[in-house]
Amino acid sequence: MTGTVQVRLRDIAHARSGDKGDTANVGVIALEPRWYPVLARFLTRERVAAHYATTITGGVERFELPNLGALNFLLHGALDGGGTLSLKTDAQGKVFSTSMLRLVLDVPADEAAAAGLPVAR
């Protein structure tokens, strides 16, 4: 196989989010250990920053947790000052995990097939 396929993040991972001040925290956990390397390779800080480009005002930090099969992202400037200051509907960052799972990754077809990834249709 050649080319790339689209893999929906929600099909290969689950996510949890929270907040601290003006920073949202999103943990992305591979549903199967064999899918973690795909997350680590393609769910980059830059990809996440582009996904949230119109939502956050600060930078994105990424932390790898390979023993948990997870990545953790800090989204700075995501909460308009935080829960007690913001007029946003969700100033606590609970929906950032749902938003993250809407991301679609472009994965080389050979790599997706080798990892047994479900491909978006």
Judge whether 12 and 101 are in contact, CB under 8 Å: no
Q: What is the pLDDT of residues 68-94, one digit of tens each?
A: 999 999 999 988 765 555 445 554 567
Q: What is the pLDDT of residues 4-62, one digit of tens each?
A: 999 999 999 999 998 888 899 999 999 999 999 999 999 999 999 999 999 899 999 99
Dihedral through CA 47, CA 51, CA 55, CA 58, nearest 10?
0
Angstrom distances, CA of residue 101 to CA of 1, 7, 39, 50, 81: 26, 11, 12, 14, 24
**Burial (0-12, 13-18, 19+ Cβ within 10 Å), 24:** buried
Set out the domains of the chain in order of their start, with CATH numbers: 1-82 (3.30.70)
